[in-house]
Amino acid sequence: MTVDLSQFIPSFLEESFEGLELMESSLLNLEAGDNETIHSIFRAAHSIKGGAGTFGFDVVTEFTHLVETLLDEMRDGRREVSPKDIEILLTSVDCMRILIEAARDEADYDKEKIAQTTAQLSETLANKDTSDNVNTEQVPQNSNNLIDKSGSNNLSIYKIHFVPEHNLAKTGNDPLFLFNALADLGELTIVANTSELPALTDIDPQELYLSWDISLKTSASVEDIHEVFEWVEDECLLEITQTTIQSQAEPEQTPDLEQTQASTTAENKEIIAVQPAITQEPPAVVAEETATNKPKGKAKAKAEVSSIRVGVDKVDNLINLVGELVITQSMLSELGSDFQMDKIERLTNGLEQLLQNTKELQESVMRIRMLPISFAFNRFPRLVHDLANKTGKEIELIIKGEQTELDKTVMEQIGDPLVHLVRNAVDHGIEQAEVRVANGKPEKGTISLDAYHQGGNIVIKISDDGGGINREKVFAKAVEKGIVEPNSTLTDAQVFDLLFEPGFSTADQVTDISGRGVGMDVVKRNIQSLGGRIQVESTVGKGSCFKVNLPLTLAILDGQLVKVGTETYIIPLISIVESLQVDNDLINKVSGDMTLYRLRDENVPILPVYQLFGLKSEFTKIDNALLVVVEADGQKVGLMVDHLLAQQQVVIKSLKDNYQQVIGISGATILGDGSVAMILDIPGMIQIALTYAQHKQQHRSAASHYEIGAPC
């Protein structure tokens, strides 16, 4: 029976990316003498290398071997931790990520970058300044890994008796990993003992029945050999004896295989010769055994299915809730089989219990999708580190609220906008050290990332203690580009909102970080597509703060149901400012057939929903209708509706996936009576309704071309 290894590739990929994140974050905080951190980085690289070898990702294996060697020298104390080596390792982590992503997607990768980094690693390893002054330049590059880690040229022959427990494979360990690691140390000969193999019909494919006698000729120490087996020490019987010492100057002698073989029953032995060079193909016998398990050529690693790691407590809670549902369903079924009016109270109680269980189940399922925002924040220490080096600035990144939970889908889509905001803070916000000192600030600038819950939303703040936004400069640039009139009177919030206009930039020169006027408009558009909004606060000389407000999830929406004619629509609660009955004394007519409502100190345009969607309404006069005042993009409008219904959570169904995108509609949902209700896209409705009114004033005859509800 063969095992299809490809089914485990998604798990390997997920664990590899987690290992790369651990390596990156640990390298950024690595200091000389921090052996524990170096060990954790080494273990992550070692696991990635072993897994890549199992699934046939040879390029990943060979590159990671160089990284592992450099880390090995650091953890053994043979190399001091230097900033230069840390930068090389950070670049190597980037390359490992590139290679693993290429293996996952079955795509090409940047071979030039990989080659450059490989050369840097090789040069670093060849020109190391070790504590014991080993002259590595005299060691040939093609030395078959027979390099004594202590600097000696003597070779030893070790006899290793390895008897794994039967359940070793169930813990994720594979003896082939161990043998390959031993082969890295020298010339290896393995004799497999098959005496404990049961009859074919009794074999459990997940159990191990073999043991091995191994002969290893190497210049490594016995500690190095123990290190190979450190992951399985508690799950095996391991005996290591040193039998022979010879100098490399003497003629090399092959271990006496006949003598080794004669020590056990000949018919129960199988000899496997493992070559030491890691770049060579696996030996024929091993290849035959694993040919059906190992993907040929490029392994099919691409997995479209995304996964979430869920805590056991959340799963247990779901199981308990499902149990409660089963009990409630059983009770209701019993009532329904022979229902009498005297059971009406029990039926009502049962339905209330069903409602409560369903609500709790929904909340529990939603919590499963919630992940700490640290998954999105983890990339920023490295990003700020690289940008600070590139710009010559000293910057400290402070992260708060990283355990604040956010829906996985929202988190995946908010990553790129946050990256652009952080890059902007580094390039535009934080000043050069000499400027900061001249202004009485510390040389090192500070950028803060903070996340917290506020109501039913999550707020993400990106703030810096830099020079702030020059209001006059932004306004002058907007006038220059014709975005606003020179005599316009704008509030600070409106001026700062100009930063999100397409093509807008206040940078004096274009760099590879920013200055092209591309990005901030995309940031705002992406945040709005998630149902969120962004606000800017800034004080010249003190710094700026970009506040992003997002819904916790895109799957469920808190909405207000409204009736217009015979149709029911849903307005997102996050967009609603207030609802009110119209006061005729506060209504004003303006040009362009636009009606305004005086709401305290503001004139709010009134949008009759029945006209925009071509419906027959119960109330066609404004003085009989209700207004739902909504806000988007800093603009308020009053939606004229017939009736306000209930508020409830609704499950969002994508209109684009099931039909096509429709202007003014963000999605749909199914109500309790089975009918379909459309969810209004408030920013889209405001923009198109205003365009509609303006166009109607200029070209009344062409107004029909701008009907809301037309397909995009």
Which residues, at least 6 apart from 680, have a Cβ–Cβ distance to it below 8 Å? 569, 570, 571, 572, 639, 664, 665, 666
Contact call for residues 629 and 645 (beta carbons, < 8 A): no
In whole angstroms, what is the distance from residue 82 CA to residue 40 CA?
18
User: Is 161 an active-site residue?
Assistant: no
Helices (H), 530-604: none
Q: 8: which DSSP letter?
A: G
Residue count (the chain): 712
**Mean per-residue pLDDT of the chain:** 77
94-101 long-range contacts (CB < 8 A, ≥24 apart) are: 95/63, 96/20, 96/48, 96/60, 96/63, 96/64, 96/67, 97/17, 97/20, 99/57, 99/59, 99/60, 99/63, 100/13, 100/16, 100/17, 100/20, 100/48, 100/52, 100/57, 100/60
Pairing assessment for the beta strands 676-680 and 594-599 based on DSSP bridges: unpaired
- Which pLDDT score, from 0 to 100, does residue 271 have? 36
Q: How far apart are CA 399 and CA 379, in angstroms?
A: 11
Give me the catalytic one of 21, 24, 46, 357: 46
Top-confidence range, 170-179, 187-196, 458-467, 661-670: 458-467
| For residue 262, pLDDT beyond 70 | no
Q: How far does CA 21 lie from the centroid of its chain? A: 10
Give the model's pLDDT for residue 152. 45
Q: Considering 68, 73, 187, 631, which one is annotated as catalytic?
A: 68
Across 401-415, 541-555, 698-712, least confident range: 698-712
Residue 415 three-state SS: helix
Of 184, 45, 66, the closest CA to residue 118 belongs to: 66
E strands along 441-565, which residues? 445-454, 457-464, 533-539, 543-551, 556-564
The pLDDT > 70 percentage for the chain reads 79
pLDDT confidence of residue 31: 76
Strands of 87-170 (E only): list them.
154-164
Residue 207 has pLDDT above 90, yes or no: no
Residue 97 in tokens: 């990520």
pLDDT in tens, 578-606: 999 888 888 887 765 678 888 888 888 88
Strands (DSSP E) found in 130-251: 154-164, 186-193, 211-218, 236-247
Higher pLDDT, 19 or 7: 19
Mean pLDDT along residues 642-652: 86
pLDDT top residue among 33 and 464: 464
**Tokens representing residue 312 in the block:** 């056991």
Distance CA 24, CA 255 (A): 43
At 509 the pLDDT is: 56
Across residues 368-373, what is the average pLDDT? 84
Q: d(Cα 23, Cα 44) in Å, to the nearest integer?
A: 7
Q: Is 439 within 8 Å of 398 (Cβ atoms)?
A: no
Other beta carbons within 10 Å of 305: 5
Q: What is the DSSP letter of 295?
A: P
Torsion (CA) 17, 20, 24, 27 in degrees, nearest 10: 160
Cα–Cα distance for residue pair 254/626, rounded to 1 Å: 95
**How confident is the model over 55-80, as pLDDT tens digits?**
888 899 889 988 988 888 888 888 88
Among 158-162, 661-665, 668-672, the minimum mean pLDDT is found in 661-665
Q: Is 35 in the active site? A: no
Token pair 């840097």: residue? 120
Say yes or no to pLDDT of 556 above 50.
yes
pLDDT at 595: 82
The answer to whether residue 46 is catalytic is yes
Which of the 8 DSSP states describes residue 13?
H
CA distance 506 to 491: 19
Return the number of other C-beta atoms located less than 10 Å from residue 167's C-beta. 13
In single-letter form, the type of residue at position 287 comes to: A
Closest by CA to 467, choosing from 397, 536, 540, is 540
Alpha carbons 121 and 134: distance in angstroms, whole number: 18
Render pLDDT for 224-255 as a digit per residue (tens, 0 to 9).
888 888 777 778 888 888 876 655 444 444 44
Cα–Cα distance measured from residue 194 to residue 198, given in angstroms and rounded to the nearest whole number: 9
- Orientation of helix 58-75 relative to helix 35-54, angle to 10°: 160
Q: What is the pTM assigned to this prediction?
A: 0.58
Kindly give the pairing relationship between strand 211-218 and strand 186-193: antiparallel
Question: Looking at 145, 180, 193, 424, which residue is catalytic?
Answer: 424
pLDDT at res. 444: 92
**Which pLDDT value is given to residue 573?**
85
**Strand-pair partners of 534:** 548
The residue type at 73? E
Q: Is the pLDDT at 14 greater than 70, yes or no?
A: yes
- Bigger pLDDT: 704 or 622? 622
